[in-house]
Amino acid sequence: MSECIQLSFAVCRIGIYTCFRALCCKGPPPPRPEYDLVCIGLTGSGKTSLLSQLCSETPENIVSTTGFSIKAVPFQNAILNVKELGGADNIRKYWSRYYQGSQGVIFVLDSASSEDDLETARNELHSALQHPQLCTLPFLILANHQDKPAARSVQEIKKYLELEPLARGKRWILKPCSLDDMEAVKDSFSLLINLLEEKDFEPSRM
């Protein structure tokens, strides 16, 4: 009986030692991959507010971007270094100067905007989709301000932007969003990360 007890204690000690080594000698987790993205859209589309919320910044500190800003947006499986470009008329003509080195594109539009602004947004998106430095990159297109009464549906926006003929064969996602549902925004960014990792992507996802 005493030999059995001693053997049990020995087995327990080995088990405890193994668990201790697993917990204490595991080492730091592998670093998350980082991706450099460019975020574009007209003034008032909500780019700054969405990115600031993703970075857990307080609303009082949010100021509309007039030139450009860079935010490191953390996710569980990646870090997105997002270069946000101001959307004013006098700044949009310089957008292309900041495209170099981008690995993906975030385009934000106000789904409740006027017809004139929506047409301008469509033209800017078409220009970006065809730009030599962006045309092969994955696009996340966010139809923002879905909480507003005048917001157009994703199907309406998709048809108006003429995405099917223009972006056929490209990697893009069109998703509705608003500050009221940041979980949905995070899910949209997770889909973009999948495209950046080239995991089972299908062109023209919605």
Residue 119 in domain: yes
* Residues of each annotated binding site for GTP: 41-48, 87, 144-147
Residue 72 in domain: yes
> In the chain, how many domains are there?
1
**C-alpha closest to that of 177 among 163, 167, 191:** 191
Residue 1 in domain: no
The angle at the Cα of 191, spanning 189 to 197, to the nearest 5 degrees, equals 105
Kindly report the number of other CB atoms within 10 A of residue 206's CB atom.
12
Domain that holds residue 86: 34-200
Residue 156 in domain: yes
d(CA 41, CA 29): 36
Residue 165 has what pLDDT?
A: 76
The b-or-e profile of 142-164 (16+ CB within 10 A means b, else e) is bbbbbeeeebbebeebbeebebe
Residue 52 has what pLDDT?
A: 93
CB-CB contact of 158 with 176 (8 Å):
no
Residue 193 in domain: yes
* Residues of each annotated binding site: 41-48, 65, 87, 144-147
Residue 79 has what pLDDT?
A: 96
Residue 61 has what pLDDT?
A: 63
pTM here? Answer: 0.82
* Residues of each annotated binding site for Mg(2+): 48, 65
Work out whether strand 68-75 and strand 78-85 pair parallel, antiparallel, or are unpaired: antiparallel
Residue 10 in domain: no
Q: What is the pLDDT along the chain (206 residues), one digit of tens a residue?
A: 444 444 344 434 444 444 444 445 566 767 889 999 999 999 999 999 999 999 988 766 666 666 788 999 999 999 999 999 999 999 999 999 999 999 999 999 999 999 999 999 999 999 999 999 999 999 999 999 999 999 999 999 999 998 877 766 788 999 999 999 999 999 999 999 999 998 544 444 45
Q: 2: helix, coil or strand?
A: helix
CATH of the domain at 70: 3.40.50.300
Residue 152 in domain: yes
Residue 164 in domain: yes
